[in-house]
Structure 1
Amino acid sequence: MLTREQVDRYRNDGFITVEHVLDDGFVADLRCVTDEFVARSAQVTEHDDVYDLEPQHSAASPQVRRIKNPNRWHPVFQKALEHPGILDVVEQLIGPGIRYLTTKMNMKSPGVGSPVEWHQDWAFYPHTHDDILAVGVAIDAMTVENGCLLVVPGSHRGPVYEHHEDGVFIGAIGESIDESEVVPVTVDAGGISIHHVRTLHGSAPNRSADPRRLLLLEMAAVDAWPLKGYGGFEAFNSRILRGAPTSHARVEPVPVVMPEPQPERGGSIYEIQTQMSRERARLRQ
C-alpha cells in the first residue's frame, strides 16, 4: 500500500516508484518466459502481431524491442496484470474500478535498445477524463545506463502537447525539453514505476552491457471512455480488473488533441516516431 506521501507525490509529480512489489521467484518466471519469446523470434523476419523487432534483428542474433499484448500469449503476464500488490497501488491512485487498456513488454538489448522520443501517452488514446496511468513492472533493474524511463515532473498538470509534424501524427512532441528538469525513473527488479497518462516521458538507448526489460500495464478508471471507440461493450468490460461495468462516462474538461491523421506507416510508437524529422529527434542523438 502507498503512504499518504507517495500518493501526494504522484498527484504533484505525475510519477512514483514502489520497490519490492514482486517476489524474486515471480521475476525469475517473467524473465524465463520473456527469454523464450525472444528465442522464438529468431524465426520471425518482420513485425507481426506478437513481435516488434529491432532494426538489427536477425535469426543469428534475435533483437526484440517489444512483445505486444503479452498477456494474450502467456499466463505469466496475465498473472502480473492481475497481481494484487499492483492493483492495490493503482486503486489508491484512480479508484476501486480499474480497467486495463493494453499491455506490452518493452525491451532494450545491451548496447542496442531503440529510444522512445518525448511524448505523452494521452496523445495516443484520449478518454473522457485522465484518471489513467501506466504501471512499469521492472523485470530488470532500471538504470540511467540501460535506458530507464525519463520524465518531466509536474508535466501532467501542464498542457497537452502537439504530437504532429506537418499536420500528421508522429507520436512525439516538437517542443524542446529543459534537460535540467528531467528525472530518471530508476527502480530495482521486482519494483514498479507508475506515471500519469499526461506525464511527459521518453527513454534513451541502452548503453550498458545489461538488458532492460519493462512490462507496461496501462490502466484506467472504469468510467473513463476512449474517444476513439471501445470495440463493443462486452469486449470493453472484459478488460475490467476490479469493480463493476458502468454505462456512465465521467466527462471532465481535459484538453484533447486527437491522434489523427495517422502517418503513412502506422504500427507501434517506434514505427510512428521513425517518421519524424531528424531535427525533432532528441533521444536518438
Structure 2
Amino acid sequence: MLSPDQIAFYRENGYLMVEDAVNAEQLARLREITYDLIEKSRGVTESGDVYDLDEGHSAERPRLTRIKLPHLQHPYYWEVLKTSRMTEVLTALLGPDTALQTSKLNTKAPGGGAAVEWHQDWAFYPHSNDDMLAFGLMLEDVDQANGPLQVIPGTHKGPVLSHHAPETGRFCGAVDPDDPLFDVDKAVTLTGKAGSMTVHHVRTLHGSAPNLSDRNRLILFYECRAADAWPLVGSASYAKLAQGGGQALWDHFAEHIITGNMTMEPRATAVPMRLPLPPAPDAGSIFKTQKSGGARSVFTPRERAPA
C-alpha cells in the first residue's frame, strides 16, 4: 500500500516511482510472454492490430515500437493488473472503483528505438474528470541510455498545451518545442530496476528519447481511470466503439472494470481540455499520429539529452 507521503507526492508533482510493483514470479512470466510475442513478430512485415514495427524490422532482426493492447493479446497481462501490488496503488490514487482505459507495451529496440515526443495523455482522450493515470511497469532495467520516461513535475495542475501542428491545424499528438509554456529543462528522468513502476497523472507532460543502448527497453503501460470518468467526444478509440451502438460501448466499459463497480452517473469537474480534432491522417498509434500529424521533435535535430 502507498504511504501518505507517497500519495501526497503524487498529488503535488503528478508522478511517482513505485518499487516491486510485481513479484519475481509475475515479472518472469510477463517477460516470457513478451519475448514470445516479439519472437512471433519475425513473420510480420507491416504494422497491424498487434504490432507497430520500427524502422529496420526484419525476420532476422525484429524491431518494434509497440505491442498493441497487450491485455487482449494474452490474458496474463490483464490478470497481473488485478492480482499484483498495482491494484493497491490504483485504488490508493483513484478510489475503489477503477477501470482500464487502454494498454500498450512499448518495446523500444536497441540502437535507436523510436522516441516518444512530449505530450499529455489528456490531449488524446478528454473525460468528464481527470482522475486518470498511467502505470509504466518496467520489464527490464531502465537507465539513462535506453530511453527512459521523462516527466515535468507539476504540469498536471496547469493548462492543456496545444498538441496541434501549427502548419496544418491537425492534431499531431505532441507539443510544439517552442511553446512558451513547455520547459523541458525542468524534466525529471525516471529510471529503475525491472519490476519497478512509474505512475503519471493523465495531464502530466512526459516523453522519452530514443533507445541508444544495446538493450531492449520494455515498459508495459496501463492507462487507467476512475470508473466515474466518462469519455467526451473526439477520442478516436471511443468513436470506433460507438459505431457498434450503446450496448457495445456499455459492454466495453463493463469488461474493463479493474476494481469495484461501474456507474451510470459520470462525475464532471472543471478541468481544461482540448479536443483531438481534426485527427492526424494516420492515428493508429501515438507514433503514427506524431509522424503523420507533423509533430516537431524535441529530440532531433536539437538532440536534447535526458535531464
Contact conserved, 1:135 with 1:216, CA < 8 A, in 2?
yes
1:115-149 per-residue CA deviation (whole Å, 9 max, x = no partner) reads 00000000011100000000111101121111110
Which of 200, 206, 209 is the aligned partner of 1:195?
A: 200
Q: Which moved more, 1:180-189 or 1:8-17?
A: 180-189
Aligned pairs (5 A) from 1:1-285: 1-165=1-165, 166-174=168-176, 175=179, 177-228=182-233, 229=238, 231=242, 232-277=249-294, 280-284=296-300, 285=303
Give the number of the structure whose residues are more often helix, by fraction. 2
Native 8 Å contact 1:116 1:283 kept in 2: no
Amino acid at match of 1:160: V
Alpha-carbon separation, structure 2, partners of 1:112 and 1:226: 35
Identify the range of structure 1 (84-93 vs 225-234) with the bigger mean alpha-carbon deviation: 225-234
CA contact (8 A) 1:21 1:85 kept: yes
Q: Is the 8 A contact 1:139 1:189 kept in 2?
A: yes
Q: In the alignment, is the contact (CA less than 8 A) between 1:170 and 1:275 conserved in 2?
A: yes
Distance in 2, matches of 1:206 and 1:37, equals 20
State the Cα deviation string for residues 31-53 of structure 1 (Å, max 9, x = none). Answer: 11111111111111111110011
Could you say what secondary structure the match of 1:241 adopts? Answer: strand
Partners of 1:265 and 1:136 in 2: how far apart? 25
State the distance in 2 between where 1:113 and 1:85 align.
29
Decide whether the 8 Å contact of 2:282 with 2:293 is kept in 1: no
Distance change (3 Å), C-alpha of 1:149 and 1:59: same
Q: Distance in 2 between matches of 1:197 and 1:114?
A: 22
- CA–CA separation in structure 2 for the residues paired with 1:198 and 1:189: 25
- Post-superposition shift, 1:226? 0.5
For the residues of structure 2 that align with 1:275 and 1:51, how far apart are their CA atoms?
A: 18
Same amino acid, percent of matched pairs: 41
Deviation readout 1:164-211 (Å, 9 max, x if unpaired): 012100000112643330100112111111000000000000111221
Q: Which runs of 5+ in 2 are unaligned?
A: 243-248
Structure 2 distance, partners of 1:209, 1:237, is: 41
Amino acid at match of 2:202: V
Instruction: Give the residue type in structure 1 aligned to 2:172.
Output: I
Q: Counterpart of 2:173 in 1: which secondary structure?
A: coil
**Inter-partner Cα distance in structure 2 for 1:264 and 1:212:** 28
Q: Distance in 2 between matches of 1:39 and 1:210?
A: 16
TM-fit CA distance, 1:274: 1.1
SS at structure 2 position matched to 1:145? helix
Q: TM (normalized to structure 2)?
A: 0.89
Q: CA deviation at 1:110?
A: 1.4
Tell me which moved more, 155-164 or 236-245. Answer: 236-245
Distance apart, 1:276 and its partner CA? 4.9
Tell me, yes or no, if the aligned pair for 1:137 and 1:192 is still in contact at 8 Å: yes
TM-score by length of 1: 0.96
Aligned to 2:246: none
Instruction: Quote how far apart the aligned CAs of 1:277 are.
Output: 4.5
> More displaced, 195-204 or 21-30?
21-30
Task: Give, in whole Å, the separation in 2 of the partners of 1:131 and 1:50.
Answer: 28
Quote the offset at 1:67 in angstroms: 0.6
The DSSP-based 3-state class of the residue aligned with 1:169 is coil
1:14-73 Cα deviation digits (max 9, x unpaired): 000110121222212111111111111111111111001101111111111111111112
1:190-249: per-residue Cα shift (whole Å, max 9, x none)?
A: 111100000000000011122110000010000000113564212211111111111000
